[in-house]
């Protein structure tokens, strides 16, 4: 404990310098942790373990073009197919345009089987599902979305359309809980509500989501579907769910390269700043180090004390930076989770935290070792000349 007290007193020798370097470390670790967690969150969109046996069939020209719902007949006839679900992004909002969340018109007869992992179908009762199927103006919502808006089963949710000129009044018939928070920030209602409210959507859909029996059947099915509808008035583009989601991520640009570039720049900057600060602090203490050596402290003991200062300093900054990043992650989930559902999964993972902490400690050791080693190898007589 006395060694720790000595190290702590040394750090407080220049409080302004200590506070500045700790502040820069907090900001650096916070930035790296948040950026790497953002990258992990975006990667999870394309690596959803539940999407390995699902395909998206959409118009070849783009996601804003429609497909005839009659295509569903051909899709259901394929031996590899388990279920087919028509899905159309509605894009409405509740009460205020800022209160935006994902909402879809979907085929109520197949949605539970197609997305059974997301809906936690094993935990739903047959009565709950039947109640939703019975009410043509019913809807299902995720638990996170329901908690945010204070909804419960039986409440009426009036949606204001933005893409389509209808404002459906929907009654919540089922609130589901999923294994991933991002899957709970969504609302689904009967497809016929959209067809009856918007006559031009009769017999059309934005995309089909197809669940296959075995993932190994996917390449063969993709080729057959697109070949069948080739040269038709509504040509298709069939892709895995991961590829479909990846297309949305790519719309944001090469995020991975940008994030990694910023991370490298931040690490190099904090390494230079820390090395300069520790080098200056150790050089100013040349006489003190010589006195320690003259009192019988070995060079290795003095070196270990100086390294402990660097590690303690960097460790403190890293810990505070991670705490700040954890607080920011909670704010991101609360503010952005409903608008962009994948942000509901945003968190500073233990792996990210450990990597940031290990990286910070490595920076502390590296930036301290070189000046500390040079100082402990300096002749004692040379250092004592500056005493007094």
- Residue, of 312 and 160, whose pLDDT is higher: 160
Q: CA nearest 181: which of 51, 322, 347?
A: 347
Q: Which is it for the CA torsion 28, 31, 34, 36, positive or negative?
A: negative
Contact 116, 96 (CB under 8 A): no
Cα–Cα distances in angstroms (integers) from residue 383 to residues 78, 257, 292, 386, in the given order: 85, 48, 10, 6
Q: What is the pLDDT of residue 2?
A: 62
Cα–Cα distance for residue pair 6/299, rounded to 1 Å = 17
Q: Is the predicted pLDDT of residue 126 greater than 70, yes or no?
A: yes
User: For 344-354, b where at least 16 C-beta lie within 10 A, e where not — what string?
Assistant: bbbbbeeebbe
Q: What is the pLDDT of residue 261?
A: 82
Contact 245, 342 (CB under 8 A): no
> pLDDT of 368-382, one tens digit each?
777 777 766 666 666
Q: What are the respective helix, strand and coil percentages of the chain, to the nearest 5?
A: 60, 15, 25
- Residue, of 128 and 23, whose pLDDT is higher: 128
Q: What percent of the chain has pLDDT over 90?
A: 35
pLDDT band at 344 (very low <50, low <70, confident <90, very high): low
266: exposed, middle or buried (Cβ count in 10 Å: 0-12, 13-18, 19+):
middle
Segments making up each domain of the chain, as ranges: 2-46+254-384, 54-213
Cα–Cα distance for residue pair 369/291, rounded to 1 Å = 20
Average pLDDT over residues 89-101: 87
Cα–Cα distance for residue pair 253/272, rounded to 1 Å = 30
Average pLDDT, rounded, for the chain? 82
> pLDDT of 218-276, one tens digit each?
999 999 999 999 989 999 999 988 778 776 666 555 677 777 788 888 888 877 777 77
Q: Is the predicted pLDDT of residue 199 greater than 60, yes or no?
A: yes
Tell me the range of 215-224, 282-291, 330-339 where mean pLDDT is highest.
Answer: 215-224
Average pLDDT over residues 171-190: 89
Average pLDDT over residues 202-219: 92
Q: CA nearest 120: which of 140, 104, 105?
A: 140
């Amino acid at each position: 404990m006395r060694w720790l007290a000595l190290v702590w007193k040394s750090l407080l020798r220049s409080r302004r310098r200590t506070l500045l370097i700790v502040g820069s470390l907090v900001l650096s670790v916070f930035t790296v942790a948040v950026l790497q967690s953002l990258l992990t969150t975006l990667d999870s969109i394309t690596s959803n373990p539940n999407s390995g046996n699902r395909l998206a069939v959409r118009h070849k020209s783009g996601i804003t073009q429609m497909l005839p719902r009659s295509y569903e007949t051909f899709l259901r006839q394929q031996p590899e197919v388990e279920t087919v679900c028509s899905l159309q992004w509605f894009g409405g909002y509740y009460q205020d345009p800022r209160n935006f969340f994902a909402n879809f018109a979907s085929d109520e007869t197949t949605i539970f089987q197609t997305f059974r992992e997301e809906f936690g179908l094993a935990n739903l009762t047959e009565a709950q599902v039947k109640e939703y199927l019975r009410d043509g103006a019913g809807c299902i919502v995720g638990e996170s979305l329901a908690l945010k808006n204070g909804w419960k089963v039986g409440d009426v949710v009036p949606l204001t359309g933005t893409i389509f000129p209808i404002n459906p009044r929907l009654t919540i018939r089922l609130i589901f809980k999923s294994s991933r928070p991002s899957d709970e920030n969504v609302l689904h209602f009967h497809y016929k509500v959209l067809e009856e409210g918007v006559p031009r959507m009769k017999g059309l859909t934005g995309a089909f989501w197809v669940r296959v029996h075995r993932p190994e059947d996917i390449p063969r099915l993709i080729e057959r579907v697109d070949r069948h509808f080739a040269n038709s008035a509504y040509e298709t583009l069939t892709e895995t769910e991961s590829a479909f989601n990846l297309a949305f991520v790519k719309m944001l640009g090469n995020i991975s390269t940008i994030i990694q570039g910023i991370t490298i720049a931040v690490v190099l900057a904090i390494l230079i700043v820390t090395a300069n600060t520790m080098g200056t602090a150790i050089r100013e203490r040349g006489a003190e180090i010589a006195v320690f050596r003259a009192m019988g402290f070995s060079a290795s003991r003095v070196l270990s004390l100086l390294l402990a200062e660097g590690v303690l300093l960097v460790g403190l900054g890293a810990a505070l930076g991670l705490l700040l990043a954890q607080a920011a992650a909670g704010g991101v989930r609360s503010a952005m989770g409903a608008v962009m559902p994948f942000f509901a999964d945003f968190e500073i993972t233990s792996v990210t935290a450990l990597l940031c902490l290990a990286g910070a400690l490595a920076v502390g050791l590296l930036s301290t070792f070189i000046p500390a080693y040079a100082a402990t190898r300096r002749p004692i007589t040379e250092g004592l000349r500056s005493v007094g």
